[in-house]
Homo-oligomer: A and B are copies of this chain.
Amino acid sequence: MPAQVVNKDLQNERNKCTFNQEEFTLWWVGGEEQLKEKRSRETYFESQPEFQDKVPLHFASHQELYEETIRKATVIFSKVKKLLTDQGKYDAKNYVHFMEALLGSGFIKEGNPLGIHFSMFVPAIMGHASPEQQEQYLGKALNCEIIGSYAQTELGHGTFLRGLETTATFDPQTDEFVINSPTLTSYKWWPGALAQTVNHCVVMAQLYSNGKCYGIHPFMVQVRDSETHMPMPGIDIGDIGDKMGYKGVNNGYLGLKNVRIPRSSMMMKNAKLMRDGTYVKPSSSVLAYGTMVFVRVIIVRNMAQSLAKAATIAVRYSSVRRQSHINPELPEVQVIDHVTQQAKLFPLVAKAIALKLTSDNLWQMYERTTSDLNSGSLDRLPELHAIACCLKVVSTSDTATGVEVCRLACGGHGYLTCANFLNYYSLASAASTYEGENTVLLLQTARFLVKMWNQAVQGKPLMPTVSYLQNYVGKQVQQFPWSDSVPVIISAFQAVVANKLRLACQRIEQRKSKGFTPEEATNFTGLELTQVAEVHGRWFVLQSAYEMFEKACQKATTPLISVMQNLCKLVVYDEALRIRGDLLRFTTMTETDLVKLEQNYEACLMVLRPNAVGIVDAFDYPDFVLGSALGAYDGNVYERLFAEAMKSPLNQEPVNKTFELYLKPLMKSRL
């Protein structure tokens, strides 16, 4: 960590820390090797002058921001390629890994316009191209001889894929596909880097052959000329405009008018189209499914990091900021001494860790399932899909909400762009919509739970993450025996899911018996179903956190064990209090138990208090990654706010030209 003069209050907090921070950090990042790699990567990136912005990009115009972001992105690409080549490690896997770590670090706050090339275009080639096509495209893509995007979403169509309207019609005469955007709503809309950056694009379109539609398939389309970058014939392409976040990502639109591509440009790893127009089905659609799950695992992990960063900023600032007296004869206190502030921030620190542990757990499930897949067993895929859906929802919505709690806990200064909360909020909030809109995903999890409930009622065996439902089958609500031990509380969440699921299934049946179709009955029961799926996700988070903490405690030193146990309790109590109504309904919890739970929760805040700064320090985010005037390691909050303000272009001249142009005439005009 840097050697600036540290704010006294913050130093005082650090002196209070009771545990070994390096021990925590090693656990948090996953081991010595990971920590070493992370720190060397950070040191490298921080040391490159071409990677820094001269003026913060939030002062730039839409166009300037794009141009500067492209400059940085291309410099970074070249440097990383050279670095890995020099180390003899340049291959697709290392490259994607390095770039992903870079993107995940939030180093380019405004979003990297080449990010989609590596996160979607290259993987699309790997996942959809036949061996010959990989030969043709993969090397060029990795080397950036072609730069690509992935275009699925349309102006009028998002999460519901079957609704996509773009068509790819096979012309047997010329052995080509003719690709068209038949309507305004079929224009591709949102793909990153599509607007001004890429020259290739994997386009998802409805495949037509011999008058028959075979559904959505991927096609490689060149959208701009390699030499001139001019749009290719039939291509209408451009920028969709300014957004809440990801401002540097250059999201674009794409209209196609009779664009002809050879048949061989259909990506034929899975489905194929023969020379005569015969369609050959893919052997299994399972792999696409796997990719979707993979992306959601990554989202959960990234959300944990974003929340941890926001909490770091807010906890440090709250230790430096002083406001209001508690005892009137003493000076104003550190904001972090107000219990209301602790109750805002400390559960979020614990939540960030719980989400990170959940993503570790989910990752293990994913790896198990993938290895099952490779040995031909698809049994656990639906379970993995169901849990990944609701975890994507819980992690994105809690992170978005949590970041805003952090920001508001920093008062007015949290509203300044240089505090960097808006950035974390925009990223988390976008993730609530992309890769499956959150409500739609909850309904997918719920559909699985309903199916499992019906299996349980029929006495059939259930998969591990839902096997607890078996304890609740039967017609009546079953009160779970409450106690305030952590594992019992976590099991109480199962009781809530099971009983709410029972009620939801009953409502669906009631509605069907009134003459609604099953689909209508399910739609009308949407509120109950989404609630059930969400609690199931929250149960999984708590269960994962509990198991992972237990495992970590087996190896940790005593002071760190205390810290971990308290964090685990805090996140469990916090979640339990949030669903106190359901716990009162479905467990034997009494009013007295509830008051006791509130007291236990408050006790956890008090225990965490002296280690609050210690824990966020141990997350080990360097200042350039946090990117916040409020959250820097040295706590020189006011000096940094002032320094950021000094960078405003408006402060570069004593009088703005608008004085002579507009203000002076106004002041002098008398009616």
Contact = CB atoms under 8 A, between A and B. Distances in A.
A126 interface: no
Contacts of A337: 523
Contacts of A163: 322-324, 332
Given A74-B662, A230-B654, A520-B326, A85 B412 contact: no
Interface string A272-292: 000000000000000000000
Interface string A200-241: 000000000000000000000000001011110000001111
A71 interface: yes
Nearest to A580: B581
Interface in A383-433: 404, 408, 411-412, 414-418, 422, 429-430, 432-433
Interface stretch (A140-148, A256-264, A464-472): A140-148
Interface in A560-614: 579-585, 591, 594-595, 598, 602
A477 B404 CA distance: 35
A241 B66 contact: no
A157 B583 CA distance: 42
B59 A60 contact: no
A369 to B, nearest CB: 27
Contact of A62 (B74, B477, B648, B670): B648
B524 A645 contact: no
A253 interface: yes
A443 interface: yes
A530 B340 contact: yes
Chain B CB count within 10 A is highest, among A60, A322, A667, for A667
A63 to B, nearest CB: 5
Nearest to A140: B667
A323 B159 contact: yes
B418 A641 contact: no
Contact of A324 (B66, B160, B323, B417): B160
Interface stretch (A104-112, A305-313, A434-442): A434-442
A67 B657 contact: yes
A658 interface: yes
A650 B230 contact: no
A39 interface: no
A382 B61 CA distance: 48
Contacts of A558: none
A77 B662 CA distance: 11
A357 B133 CA distance: 65
A451 interface: no
Residues of A contacting B: mostly: helix
Interface string A159-173: 110010000000000
B649 A61 contact: yes
Contacts of A414: 433
Nearest to A646: B238
Contact of A155 (B439, B638, B650, B664): B638
Contact of A343 (B59, B526, B663): B526
Contact of A61 (B64, B321, B404): B64
A52 interface: no
Given A66-B650, A144-B666, A244-B417, A339 B523 contact: yes
B158 A241 contact: no
Contact of A526 (B56, B340, B415, B433): B340
A655 interface: yes
Chain multiplicity (copies): 2
Nearest to A662: B74
Contact of A67 (B527, B655, B656): B656
A651 interface: yes
A552 interface: no
B527 A184 contact: no
A459 interface: no
A415 B437 contact: no
Contacts of A85: 671
A412 B190 contact: yes
Given A58-B242, A147-B663, A229 B416 contact: no
A517 interface: yes
Given A159-B323, A160-B332, A197-B663, A184 B642 contact: yes
Contact of A408 (B160, B432, B661): B432
A241 B417 contact: yes
A78 B415 CA distance: 32
A341 B524 CA distance: 11
A560 to B, nearest CB: 27
B196 A650 contact: yes
Contacts of A332: 160, 163
Contact of A667 (B144, B158, B241): B144
A82 interface: yes
Contacts of A62: 58-60, 648-650
Interface in A526-550: 526-528, 530
A669 interface: yes
A23 B481 CA distance: 55
A440 to B, nearest CB: 7
B430 A415 contact: yes
A196 B411 contact: no
A185 interface: yes
Interface of A: 56, 58-64, 66-67, 70-71, 74-75, 77-78, 81-82, 85, 90, 143-147, 153, 155-160, 163, 184-185, 187, 189-190, 195-197, 226, 228-231, 238-245, 250, 253, 321-328, 332, 337-341, 343, 404, 408, 411-412, 414-418, 422, 429-430, 432-434, 437-440, 443, 477, 503, 517, 519-520, 523-528, 530, 579-585, 591, 594-595, 598, 602, 638-639, 641-642, 644-651, 654-659, 661-667, 669-671
23 contacts: A59-B242, A67-B657, A70-B662, A71-B658, A145-B667, A158-B412, A159-B323, A190-B412, A195-B650, A229-B664, A238-B648, A239-B645, A240-B648, A241-B644, A242-B418, A325-B519, A327-B517, A339-B523, A404-B429, A408-B429, A408-B432, A527-B598, A580-B581
Given A70-B663, A158-B411, 6 more contacts: A66-B658, A147-B666, A163-B332, A242-B418, A243-B415, A581-B581
Q: What 5 pairs between A and B have smallest CB-CB spacing?
A: A581-B581, A61-B61, A580-B581, A242-B417, A340-B526
